[in-house]
Chains A and B, each alone.
Chain A
């Protein structure tokens, strides 16, 4: 199975700050990488697919980048509604595997 290592596990940032979450795959996943946002008490929601394509309705302050084994999610100008757990997931090979999640809180 492809292992997805996400960092950091938790993150505290201030409103308006820029934050970056990293995801490292154990092998090349050829940009088949998605990011999901899970708000407290809710289901995960798709944010970004194919490493850098924004899902419909997702604010432009979210962006994804990366290739090969290294990927990142960047949130510009942090808003209060961005408090969530963020997960990466590889869709290159079965079983589809997730990172361990990053819990983002406000400082």
Chain B
């Protein structure tokens, strides 16, 4: 069955960066886009961007350009998202998802807390 297993929670200082992972299993990793979604304040959802593992092509929400960097490691079927220059506004849960014209499978989420 399709699974997306994300890395653990992170506590990071303002101004620092954080890199999280999303390991896919149960399907051909290179055939589907991986999208990332931010959930703030326990409710609202924002689409950050997506990456196509086969080619490395990316698309971003303009709001997150310069904030998020998306990469993949095809050898381990793992997608990564790095967030840079963190502020309190980046404290949120971040989900990786599989995209098949909808977000059909979601990881368990990574809670990022930005605090000094």
Contacts and interface: CB of A to CB of B under 8 A. Distances in A.
Contacts of B106: 43-45
Interface residues of A, number: 20
B53 interface: no
B58 to A, nearest CB: 12
Interface stretch (B12-20, B38-46, B72-80): B38-46
Contacts of B104: 46, 49, 55
B45 A87 contact: yes
Given A94-B59, A96-B47, A43 B107 contact: yes
B51 to A, nearest CB: 14
Given A43-B107, A95-B61, A95-B62, A101 B102 contact: no
Contact of A98 (B44, B62, B107, B108): B44
B62 A101 contact: no
B95 A46 contact: no
A107 to B, nearest CB: 21
Nearest to A97: B47
A43 B109 CA distance: 7
A36 B103 CA distance: 9
A98 B46 contact: yes
B102 A91 contact: yes
Contacts of A97: 47
A85 interface: yes
A71 to B, nearest CB: 14
Contacts of B108: 43
Interface of B: 35, 43-47, 59, 61-63, 95, 101-109
6 contacts: A44-B103, A89-B45, A91-B102, A95-B47, A97-B47, A98-B47
Interface of A: 34, 36, 43-46, 49, 55, 85, 87, 89, 91, 94-98, 100-101, 103
Q: Can you list the 10 inter-chain pairs with the closest CB atoms, starting with the nearest? A: A95-B61, A43-B106, A98-B45, A96-B47, A49-B102, A34-B102, A101-B43, A46-B104, A95-B47, A43-B109
